[in-house]
Amino acid sequence: MKNATLTRITKIINVDYSVNDSILLTNTYTLRKLIGILGMAMPLLLTIFLYVDSGLNTPLESISHYYYTRVGSIFTIILSVLAIFLIVYKGKSLIDFIFSSVAGVFALFVVLFPTSNITDQCGDSSKNYAVTILRKSDVRVNFHYISAGIFLLCLAYMSIFLFTKSDKSPSERGSKKILRNRVYMICGVLMVLAVVIIASDSIPIIPPAYYTANQLTFWMETLAIESFGFAWLIKGETFFRDES
């Protein structure tokens, strides 16, 4: 029973003990799973830990604004690890490596160039969950938005155009591959849609009062990150894998 359990765990995390002096991340499927898990976990961890720490039961304006709170370390660590994983991800061809690397670099820029402050008042009692204030900089904030957009759009491109590729013709593809491709397409489209809605904040398409009151930036970022994470979990053969 014990050996069967260990074998099952080894199979799930794709650890190859037949090769000496190797590490877990040499397996592409494991790397994809870790990227997916970290991506999907980040919004949930941020909201839960900030609620535990400060009792805040509503989302902040955006996921990036958690940088300025007590859970900013979670935001920084997860996004930085995601960035590194994306940079070292090789994929099946050069185009995979290029887009994942670009996504990883701009994910680091999102951390290195934080968004606007939650408050400009030190010790603001109405926003006591804010623990950090940076010097105002339109250049920093604008580059943050650009970096976040490029990061998400690169991941959307990978989901729509790269994850759906196959060395088999459409008629020869199995039912699971067809299903995976549909999910990849849906995830990619949702990511693009989320970026478009976030960008619309600067264009009066959605009433500003409605946009702000409903924290649309936070929810659209969450939608994009959850979609991206789910696509990578599927790419790591966590779900809908071909029957052997």
In angstroms, how far is the first alpha carbon of the chain from the final one? 23
5: confidence class by pLDDT, cuts 50, 70, 90 = confident
Q: Phi and psi of 108, rounded to 5°?
A: -65, -40
Q: Rounded to two decimals, what is the model's pTM?
A: 0.88
pLDDT at 76: 97
Q: What is the pLDDT of residues 24-42, one digit of tens each?
A: 666 788 889 999 999 999 9
Does 132 score more than 70 pLDDT?
A: yes
144: confidence class by pLDDT, cuts 50, 70, 90 = very high
pLDDT at 172: 81
Closest CA to 82 of 107, 58, 106: 107
> Cα–Cα distance between 173 and 175 in angstroms, integer?
7
Q: What is the pLDDT of residues 164-215, one digit of tens each?
A: 998 888 878 889 999 999 999 999 999 999 999 999 876 667 888 888 888 9
23: confidence class by pLDDT, cuts 50, 70, 90 = low
Give percent of the chain with pLDDT exceeding 90: 68
The DSSP string of 150-217 is HHHHHHHHIIIIITT--SS-GGG--HHHHHHHHHHHHHHHHHHHHHHHHHGGGTTTS-HHHHHHTTHH
pLDDT at 107: 98
Report how far Cα 152 is from the mean position of its chain's Cα atoms. Answer: 8
Q: What is residue 68's three-state secondary structure? A: helix
Secondary structure E strands in 41-131: none
Q: What is the pLDDT of residues 60-114, one digit of tens each?
A: 999 999 999 999 999 999 999 999 999 999 888 999 999 999 999 999 999 999 9
pLDDT at 239: 82
